[in-house]
Amino acid sequence: MNIIDGKLLAKTIKEEIALEVEKLVNGGNKKPHLAAVLVGDDPASQSYVRSKVRSCEQVGFDSTLVRKEADITESDLLEIIDKLNADDAIDGFIVQLPLPKHINEEKITLAIDPKKDVDGFHPTNFGRMAQGLPCYLPATPFGILQMLKRYDIDVEGKECVVLGRSNIVGSPISILLSRKATPGNATVVLCHSRTKDLAAHTKRADILIVALGKPEFITADMVKEGAVVIDVGINRVDDETAKRGYRLRGDVKYDEVAPKCSYITPVPGGVGPMTVTSLLMNTLKACKGDVYRK
Ligand code: L34
């Protein structure tokens, strides 16, 4: 069994990005600049955004954090987005999800200029991804592709089962792995809440990608011997014996599933840190005009 060390891989990729930034700056260009909008005080969102800002510092990017109270109106948030769209100093920006219930996430996503949509959530980028055109890939799927690539895991012709059909993980990763590309060319089955006999599918998987948000849902009996398991779940489970009062658990029952796997991602230290580096990679592309010419 091999552990896919997302934390270590993220560090390696950040070192590579830092070198590129140095080259850019030495060539007389400005540093890449990422802005993040954080609404409200959800502890998980705060921690993720903090990690994004810290990572920008590590690689030599400029960053701007726009913090707003949970009661901000939708129109005020849209105004902030318009300003970021128009601000030439900002290469790309994100609006951290989830947003408070009174704000329509779809409307917010649509308001972001696709050229600055380094999350890759805008339908323009999603559509371009689906057609294999230049685009910003959504951060978590992009991170998963990087893991497969850097660990030399061959997916071509393999049975790949994805659990969960969200717009930001399940749906895009299923499209990416079935594309005619590397990594890609997998035979993909996308399972969801209406899937009948889920275990019959998971047991066939050479590559199992789990993005359900259900702590320790996948047990050893659901996994084929030698499978590659990518655990996207990051669940905070109450635990009085833990320092912070909770522990992070994936969607996979790691201790019993890991011994059966050829490769597995841990939680924490797996997909999460790769989501952050993918955002940096997209921001670097935005700065260089690699996806949409400036
Ligand atoms: N707009 N909203 C937008 N873009 C995103 O890309 C995200 N996502 C998801 C939630 N909402 C978003 C993130 O940033 C999930 N996500 C994210 C980012 C980083 C980590 C996890 C999720 C991460 O670094 N996880 C660490 C543990 C962090 C902790 O201690 O809580 C890990 O090792 O898994």
Task: Give the model confidence (pLDDT) of 70-79 as tens digits.
Answer: 999 999 999 9
Dig out the tokens for 119 from the structure: 């999350």
Which DSSP string corresponds to 175-188?
Answer: HHHHSSSSS---EE
Residue 71 near residue 41, CB atoms below 8 Å: no
CB burial class (10 A; 0-12, 13-18, 19+) of residue 240?
exposed
The angle formed by the CA atoms of residues 124, 127 and 133, to the nearest 5 degrees, is 95
Only one residue has tokens 């014996």, namely 241
Q: How far is the CA of 163 from the centre of ligand 1 (A)?
A: 18
Q: What is the pLDDT of residues 2-41, one digit of tens each?
A: 999 999 999 999 999 999 999 999 999 999 999 999 999 9
Backbone angles phi, psi at 228, to 5 degrees: -100, 125
Tell me the percentage of the chain whose pLDDT exceeds 70.
100
Across 233-259, average pLDDT: 97
Asked whether 96 and 38 are in contact (CB, 8 A), the reply is yes
Q: Indicate the burial class of 257 (C-beta count within 10 angstroms; 0-12, 13-18, 19 or more).
A: buried
For the domain 27-114, what is the CATH code?
A: 3.40.50.10860
Q: Is domain 139-271 given the CATH code 3.20.20.70 in the classification?
A: no
Q: Would the pTM of this model clear 0.85, i.e. be above it?
A: yes
**Ligand 1 atom closest to residue 279's alpha carbon, by position in its atom list:** 6
Catalytically annotated residue among 52, 115, 116, 224: 52
Q: Is the pLDDT reported for residue 255 higher than 80? A: yes
pLDDT at 294 over 80: no
**Is the distance from CB of 175 to CB of 196 less than 8 angstroms?**
no
pLDDT per residue as tens digits for the range 153-204: 999 999 999 999 999 999 999 999 999 999 999 999 999 999 999 999 999 9
Nearest to 273 by CA among 83, 75, 140: 140
Residue 263 has pLDDT above 90, yes or no: yes
Kindly report, residue by residue over 42-63, the tens digit of the pLDDT.
Answer: 999 999 999 999 999 999 999 9
pLDDT of residue 240: 95
Do the Cβ atoms of 283 and 91 come closer than 8 Å?
A: yes
Does the annotation count 288 as an active-site position?
Answer: no
Distance CA 90, CA 72 (A): 22
Residue 10: what pLDDT? 98
Provide the pLDDT for residue 135: 98
- Compute, in angstroms, the gap from residue 281 CA to the centroid of ligand 1: 15
Looking at residue 161, what is its pLDDT? 98
pLDDT for 80? 98
pLDDT of residue 293: 86
- Give me the amino acid identity at 227: A
CA-based nearest residue to 7, from 55, 63, 57 = 55
Same fold flag, 27-114 and 139-271: yes
Of 109, 48, 50, nearest to 77 by C-alpha is 109
Sorted by where each begins, the domain ranges of the chain are 27-114, 139-271
**Structural tokens at position 97:** 């999800």
For residue 97, give the ligand 1 atom closest to its CA: 2
Q: Rounded mean pLDDT of the chain?
A: 97
